[in-house]
Amino acid sequence: MRALLVREYSAVQSLRIQEIPRPDVAPDHVRVRVKAAGIGFVESLKIAGQYQTKDPLPFVPGTEFSGVVDQVGEDISRLQVGERVFGFASRGALAEEISVPAGELSR
């Protein structure tokens, strides 16, 4: 799977798309095929290591996304594969797929 991977804190312009493993799906999580993701000032600060908290390296930035449910964890009954959703995460949205707690998603 492709993602924008931050290996060291730097300027946004220095980042490149890289291959990383697909995210696992915990029992209370949903994996989403990301169709759109936002990138703004907060992401630029996180990528540069200048935000109020620092994500551990390496990390995939991105906090807001929309897409299609690809897989649901075994504890999830309110969402189904193929549904369109949007959500928020602390990081990880600038990738082809993201796994998040089901409670972070809306239809």
State the CATH number of the domain containing residue 9. Answer: 3.90.180.10
Question: How, if at all, do strands 64-72 and 29-37 pair?
Answer: antiparallel
Q: For 87, which DSSP code?
A: E
Number of H helices, E strands in the chain: 1, 7
How far, CA to CA in Å, does 58 sit from each of 54, 67, 82, 91? 11, 24, 30, 11
pTM (2 d.p.): 0.93
Enclosing domain of residue 65: 2-106
pLDDT digits (tens, 9 = 90+) for 54-98: 999 999 999 999 999 999 999 999 999 999 999 999 999 999 999
pLDDT digits (tens, 9 = 90+) for 42-58: 999 999 999 999 999 99
Domain count, the chain: 1
Helical H runs in the chain? Answer: 41-48
